[in-house]
Amino acid sequence: MSGQSDFGMVGLGTMGRSLLLNIADHGFAVAGLDTDAVKAEALRTEGAKRGAQGFTDPKEFVGALRKPRAVMILVPAGAPVDSVIGSLGPLLEPGDLLIDGGNSFFKDTNRRGADLIARGIGFIGLGVSGGESGARHGPSMTGGGEVADYERVRGLLEAVAAKANGEPCVALLGPGSAGHYVKMVHNGIEYGIMQLISEVYDLMKRGLRMSNSEIGDVFGEWNTGDLESFLIEITADVLRYPDENGGSLVDAISDKAKQKGTGKWSSQDAMDLGIPIPTIDLAVNARELSALKDERVRASKALTGPEPGTPHSADVCDLAEGALILAILSTYSQGFSQLAAASDEYGYGLNLERVASVWRAGCIIRARSLESIRQAFATDPELPNLMLSPAVAGVFDRRQSQLRAVLREMIGRGLPAPALSASLAYLDGYRSATLPTNLIQAQRDLFGAHTYERIDKEGSFHTKWQSE
Ligand code: 6PG
C-alpha cells in the first residue's frame, strides 16, 4: 500500500528537521525518520499544523510515502550515509529516488550513485548550504545527478530554495557528484573568507588595539558597501555580542578552530587536479596551526617578534576594507578555477554562471559581489580565470595597493596574515608572464637529469652542469 506523504527525510537533526518543516510550509505532505524518538516526536509537534509525520521505524516511514518515493538523507557525512542507505535501500523499489543532502565527499557520492542506479533507484547528491536558518527559510542547493530524477523534485526544491532577484537558488549542475563537488568548493571558499576576516580582525584588535564593539561597527559599516555579505554581517554581530561574565563573548571563546573536513577535501582535490588555490590551502593550514595551542603557548615564551600594537589608525582601517575586497575576490577566483578544472576532469559540464547565480542567496558565501561574478561568466562563459574578466581586473587594479599596504603593516607588526598574503601572491603569480621557475627546472636537471625545455627551440634537453 502506498502512503500519502510527498517527501521523506531521514535524519531529523537541526538541518533535516528545519528543511523538512520548510518543505511542509510550502504545502507538501512530509514524513521524517530518526532513530531518536525525541527527534521524531519533535517533528510531529512542530509540524502538527501541517500534518508532518515522525517515525523511528524505517518500514513505517517508507510505508507512509507516496510511490514512487522521494527521500532525502540529511545525516553526518561518511559512514552514517552508508548506514542509512544500507538499512533503507532494501525497503525502496525501482523508480524511487534518494537524495543525499549532506556534505558528502564527492567520490562517495559517485560510488553510492552507481550502486543505487544499478538497482533502479534514482540518486541525487545535493549540496545544501545556509545552516539552520537557511534550511528553515531558504537554502542554496547544488544538485548532481540525472535530469529525469531531478525533474521529479525540481518544483519542490525551487519552492523551498532561497531566491535571488526572484530566481530560486537551486540547480542541477551536472551528473553524478557535480552538486557535492560544487558544495565542497563552496566550503573551501567559506574557509578562505573566514580566515581572511579573522586576519583583518587580528590587525584591528592586536594591531590597532580597537575594542570588539569598535571592530564590530567597522564590519557593520563595511557590510553596507562592496563587502556586503553574510560572513561580514555575522562578524559584526559576533563582535558586538556580550558575554555573561562581562566583556565580549568572542574573547571567552577558545582559539582552537575545528573543522569537519570539507575545506581540506577542497585543497586535497585541487592538489590532485594541479590547480592552485593558495588562500583556501592556507585557511585550512591556519586552523591546523590554531589547534596546536600548547605548542603555541610554549613558543610565545621562547620566540620573539615585534610588538604588534599601536593605537587605532583610521587610515589602516580604510586600507583593510580594500585589502579584504581584493583578497575575497582572489579567493572566489581560485574556487571558480578549481571548478573549471574539475568540470573538465570529472565531466561535470559545469556552467559557472549558474554556480555563481545559485550562490547569490541562501548560502554561507552569499555576497553582493556574486552578482558581478555571475555577470563575468555570463559575458564570457569560457573565462579561464575570473581575474581575466575586465570588470574583475579593474577591482584588482584599484585595490592592490591597499592590500600591499595592509600586508606591510601586518608583517612589520609580526601579525600572521597567511591568507591575505596568499591572495596577493596568487594575483602576483598569475599576472607574471615569466616566473623564476626556470631556475627550478635547471636545478632538477642538474641533480636528477630530469631534463628541461628551452624557450627558443622545441625539444627536451639535458646538460652536464658540473665537471666530474
Ligand atoms: C553551509 C556550511 C556547512 C558546514 C559548516 C561547518 O554551507 O551551510 O558550509 O555545510 O557545516 O561550514 O564546516 P566546518 O565544521 O568544517 O567548519
Looking at residue 202, its pLDDT comes to 98
Contact (Cβ atoms closer than 8 angstroms) between residue 266 and residue 338: yes
Q: Is the CB of 19 under 6 A from ligand 1?
A: no
Q: What is the pLDDT of residue 466?
A: 96
Q: What whole-number percentage of the chain has pLDDT above 90?
A: 98
pLDDT of 400 above 60: yes
Q: What are phi and psi of 359, to 5 degrees?
A: -85, 0
First to last CA, the chain: 86
pLDDT for residue 123: 98
Q: Which H/E stretch holds residue 38?
A: helix 37-46
Q: Which residue out of 75, 180, 262 has the highest number of ligand 1 atoms within 8 Å of its CB and is therefore the one to mutate?
A: 262
Which residue's CA is minimally distant from atom 11 of ligand 1?
A: 131
pLDDT for res 1: 47
Measure the CA angle with vertex 272, ends 271 and 277; round to 5°: 30
Residue 311's pLDDT is what? 72
pLDDT of residue 310: 82
Asked whether residue 32 carries a pLDDT value surpassing 60, the answer given is yes
109 — phi, psi (to 5°)?
Answer: -65, -40
CA distance 318 to 217: 13
- The model's pLDDT over 123-151, given as tens digits with 9 standing for 90+, comes to 999 999 999 999 999 999 999 999 999 99
User: What is the Cα–Cα distance from 141 to 100, expressed in whole angstroms?
Assistant: 12
Instruction: Choose which residue among 128, 185, 187 to substitute to test ligand 1 binding: the one with the highest number of ligand atoms within 8 A of its C-beta.
Output: 187
Q: Could you tell me if the CB of 102 is within 6 A of ligand 1? A: no
Asked whether 260 lines ligand 1 (CB < 6 A), one says yes
Atom of ligand 1 nearest to the CA of 259: 16
Contacts of 434 (CB under 8 A, 6+ apart): none
Inter-CA distances, 49 with 21, 62, 136, 311, 467, Å: 11, 22, 16, 57, 87
Q: What is the mean pLDDT of residues 371-396?
A: 96
Lowest model confidence (mean pLDDT) among 201-215, 302-316, 418-432, 445-459: 302-316
Q: Is the pLDDT of residue 312 over 70?
A: no
**Residue to probe by mutation, ligand 1, list 75, 183, 364, most atoms within 8 Å of CB:** 364
Q: Where are the alpha helices (DSSP H) in 209-261?
A: 212-222, 230-239
Question: What is the distance in A from the centroid of ligand 1 to the CA of 261?
Answer: 9
pLDDT tens by residue, 38-92:
999 999 999 999 999 999 999 999 999 999 999 999 999 999 999 999 999 999 9
pLDDT at 182: 98
Give me the percent of the chain exceeding a pLDDT of 70. Answer: 99
Residues 6+ apart with CB under 8 A from 387: 330, 333, 393, 396, 427, 430, 431
Active-site residues, by number, are: 183, 190
**Cα 10 to ligand 1 centre (Å):** 19
Distance 362 CA to ligand 1 centre (A): 13
14 lines ligand 1 (CB under 6 A): no
DSSP designation for 242 = B
What is the rounded average pLDDT of the residues 280-285?
98
Q: Residue 2: its pLDDT value, please? A: 65
Q: Where are the alpha helices (DSSP H) in 347-417?
A: 352-358, 369-379, 390-413
Distance of alpha carbon 22 from its chain centroid, rounded?
Answer: 23
The rounded mean pLDDT for the chain is 97
**Does ligand 1 have an atom closer than 6 angstroms to the CB of 363?**
yes
By residue count, the chain amounts to: 468
Predicted local distance difference test score (pLDDT) of residue 313:
75
Distance CA 434, CA 438 (A): 9
